[in-house]
Structure 1
Amino acid sequence: MVPGSESLPSAAPERRAPRISYRHEALAAVLAETGTLAALGFGTGAPLHDDPRYLAVPLEGMEAPTPLEVWQVDGEVESGREGPLRWSAGAGWLFAAIELDEGEYGGPRDAAETAYRRLREFIAHRPEHHVQRIWNYLGAINQGEDDAERYKLFCEGRAAGMGAFFREGFPAATAIGHHAGEQRLQVYLLACDQPGRRVENPRQVSAWRYPRQYGRTPPSFARAMSLPGQDVLAISGTAAVVGHSSAHEDDLDAQLAETLANLETLLAHAGMPSGFDTHSPLKGYVRHPADAPRVLDFLAARLPGVPVLLLHGDVCRRELLVEIDGWRYA
C-alpha cells in the first residue's frame, strides 16, 4: 500500500443510467423482474397494485392499450413507504413519489410546499440525494387568473418546499395538468448518488429567470439534465417557447415544429448527436384529445421509429397545445 493511500477517497463507481421503456406486459411480471426500479401506469385503465415501485399516473393515454413505462437498473432493488411517500432504490438510483389531496392542505400552494418538503427531507438522508428529474401533475393547472392561477400557486409552493435544497442548481422537470379532479397532486422523481450536469437551451431564457409576468415565483427547473455517466439526457417538458414567450398561438403544427427545434438545440448544447432513435423514448402531452392523431402523424413523420407515449394533459400555459419530454440515450 502506498503510504497515506488509506486516506485517499475511492473513485465513485461508474453509474449506468436507468433504462426507460414502454411495455405492453402484465404489471406483476414487470415488477417481478430483477432491477425494476419503477413502473408507471396511465389513466383510468391503469392496473391496481400496492407495490411502492408502482405509480398510477392520472393522465389518459391517447392510444389504446396504453403501455406501462418501466425503469430498470443494474442490480437488486429495495423499496418502502413513509406515510404518503413511496420509494425504491438500487444500483445508486432512487425513485420517490408522493400523492396528496389538496383539500387537506388548503389548495395547490400549500400542497406543493408539503409535497416538496416531504421529498426534500426524505432525500436529504439518502445516499441518492442528487435529484436528476422531477414530474409534477396537478388538476386544473390553468384555472384562475393572474397570480391566482393554480400553476403559479404551485410554483410558489414548490419553491417554498424546496428551500435551499437546490441552491447549486435545479433538476430537469415537467409540470402538466391532469383531468382526474383538481384536488390530486402527484410528484415523482429520479435521483442518484452522483451529480448530473444541467443543460440549458440558448434559444430560451432559463426558467428561473423568467420575468414577473409569469408569476411571483418563476418556475424552478433546468431544461435538461445529463445524467451521471454523461450518456443519457433527461429532457424537461419542452414546448414552443422562444426566449420566454410562447410562439405560434393556436397553430398546432407550428408549435410542434418549434418544439422539435428546441429539442434539437438541447441535444446540440448537451454535446449529443442530432435526432432521436428507437432507444430514446419520448412522452407527449396534448391539450385537446382531438389533436392526438395530428400529433402522432407529425411525430411519426419527423421522428420515425421513436417510441412516443402520447397523453391527454394541459400545458402550463393556456396558449400552448402540446409539450414533449423524454430521454436521449447516446
Structure 2
Amino acid sequence: MRTLCVFLLVAICSSWVFCKPTVEKKDRVHHSKDLSDHHHDDSQDFQYDHEAFLGKEESKTFDQLTPEESKERLGKIVDRIDSDNDTFVTQPELLAWIKYVHGRFVQEDVDKQVLLHDKDGDGSVSWEEYSTQTYGHLIGEEEFYDVQDKDTYRKMMKRDERRFKHADKDGDLIATREEFTAFLHPEEFDYMKDIVVTETVEDIDKNGDGVVDVDEYIGDMYSPDGDEPEPDWVKTERKQFLEFRDLNKDGKMDRTEISHWILPHDYDHADIESKHLIYESDKDKDDKLTKKEILENWNMFVGSQATNYGEDLTRRHDEF
C-alpha cells in the first residue's frame, strides 16, 4: 500500500521530475529489507525467486523473453555463478551471487538518486539539496495543495530530516555517498537500525503509546471490508504475533521485540533463498547444482509471464 505522498506524486509527475520521499509504509515492517517486494509463495508464482536471483530490473527484462531466450541467458549467468569453474554451482556460490545482485540494486539506486539530487556535482548530497528537490515545490505550491496536504508533507520532510541527520555521521548536513546510501537504505547499516525501529513504531502505533498491540499489528497489513470474515492468513498473523512477536507475553511489542521482528539477527534472506533454490533444483541430492539441473528448473530461476504464455501456445486447445 502506498502512502498519501506517493498517490499525490503520481498525479503531478507529468509536471515535475523529483524523487519521492523516503517514507513508505509496508516495505520495511515485515522483515529486514527483502530480496523482492513479492510474497515468497511458490504455489502461486516464482516472482520472488526471479527478483532474488536476477534483481528487480533484470527480472523485468526477462519478462519479455521467450523460453528459449530465457534459457540461453540463464546458461550464461550460471557460468558466472560457478566461480571456481568446476561445472557445479554450490550453495555458497549461489549465496554470493544473490548478495551481489542485491548489492548491485542498492548501488544503482544510489547512483540514480545522487544524479537527481547532487546539484553542484561534488559527489555528495546536502540536506538542502535533497529537501529542496523532494519537498520544495510540494510545500510552496499553492495551486495544487491545501493546508492539510502541506502539513502532511512538512511532517514527512521532518521525518526525512531526522533520518538524514542520523545517517550523516559527522553532522555537517552533507551526506557522502556512503552516508546517502545509509539514508536511502537504512536496513543495510547497523548504525541505522534504531531509526528503522523508530519509523516502524510511528507507522503502526496508532494510539501513540510507543508499543504495538495485536490490533495495530494486524491493522498495518489488513483492513476488513465490511462484515467479511477474517481471511486465514490474518488469523495466522494473529497467531504469529502471540506466539513469536510478543516475546515477553505482555500483549504488545516494545522496541526490542519490534527490532527482533523487522531486523532478525538469525534471518538472512539471501542465505535462505540460496538454500531454497538448491533444494528445489537438486535432483540427485548431492547439495550442488549442475547447469543441466538449473536449466531444467529454469522457470523458478528466470521464468516469466511471457514464458508462461509461450508454454500455453504449445498446448492443444482441448487441454485448457
Q: Greater share of helix residues, 1 or 2? A: 2
Going by fraction, where is strand more abundant, 1 or 2?
1
TM range (shorter): under 0.3
Q: Which structure would you say has the larger Rg?
A: 2
Superposition TM-score, scaled by structure 2 size: 0.25
Greater RCO, 1 or 2 (C-alpha within 8 Å, sep 6+): 2
